[in-house]
Structure 1
Amino acid sequence: MSCSVRDAFIEQLRLFGMTSVFGNPGSTELPMFRDFPDDFRYVLGLQESVVVAMADGYAQATGNASIVNLHSAAGVGHAMGNIFTAYKNRTPLVITAGQQARSMLLGEPFLHADQATELPKPYVKWSSEPARAQDVPAALARAYHLAMAPPRGPVFLSVPVDDWDAPVDATQPLAPRSVSTAVRADPALLDKVANALADADRPGLVVGAGVDRDRAFAETVALAERHQARVWVAPMSARCSFPESHPLFAGFLPTARHGIRGCLDEHDVVVVLGAPVFAYHVEDAGPHVSEGTAVFQLVDDPASAAGTPVGTSVVTSLRLGVRDLLGGPEPKPRSSPQRWVRPPRVEGQNELSEELLMQTLADLRPETSIVVEEAPTTRRAMHDHLPFDQPESFYTCASGGLGHGLPAAVGIALARPEQQVIALLGDGSSMYAIQGLWSAAHESLPIVFVIVNNQGYAAIDEFARHFGVGKPVGTTLTDIDFAGLARSMGCVGTVVRRPDELTTALLDALASPTPTLVDVHVR
């Protein structure tokens, strides 16, 4: 008794709960989709980088791996920027790519992939082109479990086009549906961290995206309150892992060594949760922390633990590790630390600013809404005026690359149809993946796309001053009709140029049943 590789593969996807396939069709992938099952959904993106980012957002929002289908070497090449971002985001993706028929590979046929498994490295956890067609379903099972194992991330399968119709023994049981992925830390090391926290005079926590990824948000709040520890956000953290309106919230760490050292100098013990806290963006010198500050790190990535330059690192699933810390010794009595003072509201502005835009968004957005951000220049204003207080309420890319935010918002909206999704995008960054607007319209997703339009790559202008470049080239971006682009792809598009237009435009967008782009021109 036999069935086709395709039938076994599809059944594996069904067992793993991966029935939404993100792709852009190509010739060498067509046999994979013969007799496409009715209980599956094909989510079409108009470019492969858009496809990967949509799948990334969907996987982050569902907590399960997404299946992505790319077209041979060219499609993987197009997608590499967002494969890199998925790797940095720790997003579980199973990426498949078509390959020419096995009988043709020695002749370097058109649209084949030479050394297909090498192309996505090093930004996939595993890369394989199975030696036999019959091994493709088992390779999928291995790929899925590896993608879901901590630290999560993308994996890659290259599948020759003639494999899909090959017979496979249907009497062989499918690979197990579940594999334990939780990592429990060395109890002695966790005891060391718990004792240090209990004995500290001025404890501090640093939280990163790993807390929210492992759904340890509530446990982290409880840990901070138990120890009256101020809580910092790790540099460029890609998720909300602590409520920013909480009295113990301390602010956002910068990406420079002296800045981090200065912020953490007030603490005698710092416990880092789910973050590589010493992720610098500019060159600097001096110690990572002051001599009187002891650093401990809980992280699910052995490589991150090994690369942390100071302190004691404990490899553990964050939720399990924080729960163990909550069972540690009773802390010494401490007074409440000084509360972080948020900048005052902006009032009476005669022209649009990023600060006013962020404040207005904070006032109007639903409490349960999700913000997906890719507006680097606006991040400071966002930190000051647009706080996030709920788990899984904020997403941005951990790689620093552009072209992720707009399509990631599409994937998140597909996964969370009951929640309002707002994509907060720079004018420059939005153009890396503007095709995602079509997918939002095609899927009838009521996303609000807010373009922070400063008519240039303002982040590059800021870095030019850091490097002493007085006149950077190529940073002006004018004459793009974002609202017109949105309308051409099936979305509503509107332009805001004055402060008195902003509230009405955002309220209309939030109430719209269709995707809406609001192009906000800021000074």
Structure 2
Amino acid sequence: MSTVRDETMALLRALGMTTIFGNPGSTELPMFRDFPADFRYVMGLQESVVLGMADGYAQGSGRAALVNLHSSAGTGHALGNLFTAWKNQTPLVVTAGQQARSILPYEPFLYAERASEFPRPFVKWSCEPARGEDVPAAIHRAWAVAMEPPCGPTFVSIPIDDWERPATPCPPRTIHTHRLPAPEAIAACAADLAAARAPAIVVGAGAARDGAWEEIIALAQHHQARVWVAPMSARCAFPENHPLFAGFLTAGREAIVRQLAGHDMVLALGGPMHLYHVEGHGPHIADDTKVWMIGDNHVHAAWAPVGSAIVAQVDRAVAMLLNHPAPIRPAPPPRALPAALSDGGMRDAHVLRLLAALRTPDSIIVEEAPSSRGAMHDHLPIIAPDTFYTTASGGLGHGLPAAVGMALARPDAKVIAVLGDGSAMYAIQGLHAAAQWGANISFLIIKNGRYEALHNFGRQFGMQQVVGTHFPELDFVHLATGHGVAARRASDLARLEEALRWSLATPGPTLVEAVVD
């Protein structure tokens, strides 16, 4: 008779989940007995790296990825990037080992107490099946819930002795999850758009997840509406070189009101428009401004402080909006361009301007350099769909492994990981997986020798010194070569150009350490 392992592997194959990301312990090894030849196992040298790689792979492929972790300790290590996957709305099925059922009453070594509760609230659904033979069905349900909008991670705890239990087949079922908006709601939104004097569109990560790039361009042109990027958006949903592109909203209440002044109608697509990072006061939007929000996450609709909401897929909703007429409006004035950079010195802005000049527009940027985000907005425009990814949670340690997962999901593309030196150290072990799999990644480390983001916040709080935040001793060339990745260092623009040209032209993983002022 087939075992739980046999039927689980057959189910995973049918679901297209033949790449497994993991860092196993003793309670997970029976899952991999007689590992199928058509599967691949991607090892991460720390569980947060495993979760980050799976996140990047799932976002790059558009399908749920499977993660296998050790019981409590391994799951605990992964929680930071599980939180990021939750905020990214990334579909993941996370499995973790558990000790044998027969010894669970005695609190055995390396067991998980209340295993299904541990990863909450950062999973959509979790369980430890009541019987071993229920494991395939639990994994199937976890996959279905992970893929149902709003997507997100799920969790299944599996006792070590379940894999050898007899089991019956668990064929996958077809589950359609597309959300169509109500025509009357779209008509009301379209009427407000048409009546507006100066409408604006705000795009969030959900618009990119729903593949609404072309539809949003058409809608913006249809209404001559300026397009802003939502605060802290983790994806790109509109070309940043388009004449209607307006810039990036700041994650602060007063700033959003100020930036959207003059717009009497705002349509937020694919994510929260009012995402705040600092405390603010006063109104959330000007009194005479109407707000509509369209996205697949009902939670965003529930906590939005103002406006009306439609819970639906962005691409389908925008396509319906395009069927409604728009008045003839003059084109709004283009946004003011950033000030020109001087040629002296080597700041992060110089590094990102040079990268923009040398990279191809279809290369994929995976970014985790928080203190350089403003410079990136000014000097590294994203102009093609599905070419920018970052952490939606703000937690560090996601970008480097996510770039590895992205490269595995999209092997024909060049992935460029733009990382701060502090961010890179959260998950530096991910370089090992990049080397093992020959991932086509250019790692660009912007090295300023400290946690610059904390220094920026310290100045806001009136602090003259932020203790314990300097690390000038780090040597990323040696760290990279120690993991099997070729690397070069540059401390001036001439050497940086040479190093970047080498990295971008070299297949497989390479690293450039850019030492900035």
Q: Equivalences for 1:29-428 in 2 at 5 Å?
A: 29-170=28-169, 174-176=171-173, 178-328=174-324, 330-349=325-344, 351-428=345-422
Distance 2:166 2:77 in 1: 32
Q: Look up the SS of the partner of 1:168 in the other structure.
A: coil
AA matched with 1:67: L
Distance 1:275 1:169 in 2: 42
> How far is 1:344 from its partner?
4.3
Return 280-289 or 465-474, whichever deviates more: 465-474
Q: Look up the SS of the partner of 2:37 in the other structure.
A: coil
> How far is 1:123 from its partner?
0.3
> How far is 1:446 from its partner?
2.6
Q: Quick check: 1:138–1:175 contact (8 Å CA) kept in 2? A: no
1:25 maps to 2:24:
yes
> How far is 1:315 from its partner?
0.5
Q: Equivalences for 1:444-523 in 2 at 5 Å?
A: 444-523=438-517
Q: Quick check: 2:207–2:295 contact (8 Å CA) kept in 1? A: no
Q: Quick check: 1:345–1:359 contact (8 Å CA) kept in 2? A: no
Q: Which 4+ stretches in 1 moved above 6 angstroms?
A: none
Distance 1:319 1:392 in 2: 14
> How far is 1:326 from its partner?
1.2
Q: Quick check: 1:427–1:454 contact (8 Å CA) kept in 2? A: yes
Q: Deviations 1:336-394 (Å, cap 9, x if unpaired)?
A: 00111322442421x21111101100000012100000000000000000000111100
Q: Deviations 1:389-428 (Å, cap 9, x if unpaired)?
A: 1111000000000000000000000011111000000000
TM-score (norm 2): 0.99
Q: Look up the SS of the partner of 2:305 in the other structure.
A: coil
Q: Which runs of 5+ in 2 are unaligned?
A: none
Distance 1:53 1:514 in 2: 19
Q: Deviations 1:211-245 (Å, cap 9, x if unpaired)?
A: 11111111111111111000000001000100000
Q: Quick check: 1:23–1:48 contact (8 Å CA) kept in 2? A: yes
Distance 2:339 2:439 in 1: 35
Q: Deviations 1:143-198 (Å, cap 9, x if unpaired)?
A: 1010000100000000000000100124xx5241x211111122221111111111
Q: How many residue pairs get matched? A: 517
Q: Quick check: 1:345–1:385 contact (8 Å CA) kept in 2? A: no
Distance 2:464 2:252 in 1: 22
Distance 1:217 1:17 in 2: 26
Q: Deviations 1:410-463 (Å, cap 9, x if unpaired)?
A: 000001111100000000010000000011001011311111111100100010
> How far is 1:84 from its partner?
0.1
TM-score (norm 1): 0.98
AA matched with 1:455: G
Return 182-191 or 459-468, whichever deviates more: 182-191
Counterpart of 1:429 in structure 2 is 423
> How far is 1:40 from its partner?
0.3
Q: Quick check: 2:15–2:172 contact (8 Å CA) kept in 1? A: no
AA matched with 2:283: P
Return 490-499 or 247-256, whichever deviates more: 490-499
Distance 2:336 2:95 in 1: 48
Distance 1:339 1:302 in 2: 34
AA matched with 1:318: V
Distance 2:281 2:469 in 1: 30
Q: Look up the SS of the partner of 1:164 in the other structure.
A: helix
> How far is 1:513 from its partner?
2.2
Distance 1:75 1:341 in 2: 49
Distance 1:475 1:247 in 2: 41
Q: Quick check: 1:55–1:66 contact (8 Å CA) kept in 2? A: yes
RMSD: 0.9
Q: Look up the SS of the partner of 2:239 in the other structure.
A: coil
AA matched with 1:258: E
Q: Deviations 1:258-280 (Å, cap 9, x if unpaired)?
A: 11001111111000001111110
Structure 1 residues 464 and 347: alpha-carbon distance in aligned structure 2, compared to 1, 3 A threshold: closer
AA matched with 2:479: L
Distance 2:337 2:178 in 1: 37
AA matched with 1:115: R
Q: Look up the SS of the partner of 1:155 in the other structure.
A: strand
Distance 1:175 1:45 in 2: 28
Distance 1:175 1:66 in 2: 16
AA matched with 1:411: G
AA matched with 2:393: S
